[in-house]
Amino acid sequence: MNTPHKIDVKSLVWYVPENFEDAGYEIPTTAEELKALTEQIVADGETPWCIGLGSGGATGWPATDWVEDMMLRTQPPEVYDQWTSNEVPFNDPRVVAAIDEFGAFARNDAYVAGGAGAVASTDFRDSPRGLFSSPPQCFMHKQASFIPSFFPEGTELGVDADFFYFPASAEKDLGSPVLGAGTLAFITKDTPAAQAFIEFLQTPIAHELWMAQTGFLTPLKTVDVELYGDPTLKKMGEILLDATTFRFDGSDLMPAGVGAGTFWTGMVDFAGGKPAQQVADEIQKSWEGLK
């Protein structure tokens, strides 16, 4: 017996409010507006994005989050589910198109701080620093709810840095999908006390007690979001609970040899210029080799 315990929201874009205000930029509410803002920033002589895929032996994983979010914004959730189980092959045209959607941002020299060639070599922990330089090296950074841990010391969330929902398309009838990951509480030794504790963890009061602290984001829809002790977590919680679709991190659902292997390395190859179709074919071949 297990129960959802803690969620990390991945469908977030981080920015510095002062930078947006100085430039006169508005928060985009659709994917189309996000692309338009990206183009406007370039037209203004600035760089829209900081993107970094570096993570030691796990280099490439940040790109998998981009592709997963693109899948949820271009395809129904059933297709996402079929993709993560390989019922829809990795080299299906719909998946290739989602990879290319990521490439539209990451492989454009004008869109990324340091140019497209810096994407794979920049450590994901260092990548958001460009938001805080003066003048800013970039205006936006897509990353999960944990990334403030790597912001400059003393950064005040909601003031020095903030975030918005990575928006969905207004042209597609796919609602407001959210990508996330999380942890589970589970029983290792089955006792009545352990069973009672797990049952307690499924009640609103158990979550609300943690919500009043820091570092806890709940997926439980019956909680009172006003009880979050931190306004940043409250805002994230509202994004999570307002989602029309929630899907778990796709690479974590795939076999480790793919989700923590060829998917990671394939995204590095793609960022380096290899065609999306070739990358997808190679990942699919590796998946078939595990069956």
* Distance, CA of 119 to CA of 150 (rounded, Å): 18
Alpha carbons 209 and 33: distance in angstroms, whole number: 38
* Residue in 127, 124, 152, 150 with CA at minimum distance from that of residue 137: 127
Strand pairing class (162-165; 12-15): antiparallel
How many other β-carbons are positioned within 10 Å of the β-carbon of residue 242?
11
pLDDT at 141: 98
Residue spans of the chain under pLDDT 50: 1-4
Domain ranges of the chain: 2-280
Question: What are 102's two structure tokens?
Answer: 């990521």
Which of 3.40.190.10, 3.40.930.10, 3.40.1360.10, 3.30.1490.100 is the CATH number of 2-280?
3.40.190.10
Amino acid at 163: F
pTM: 0.93
pLDDT value of residue 2: 42
Q: Does residue 10 contact residue 75 with C-beta atoms inside 8 Å?
A: no
pLDDT at 213: 86
Write down the pLDDT at residue 5.
55
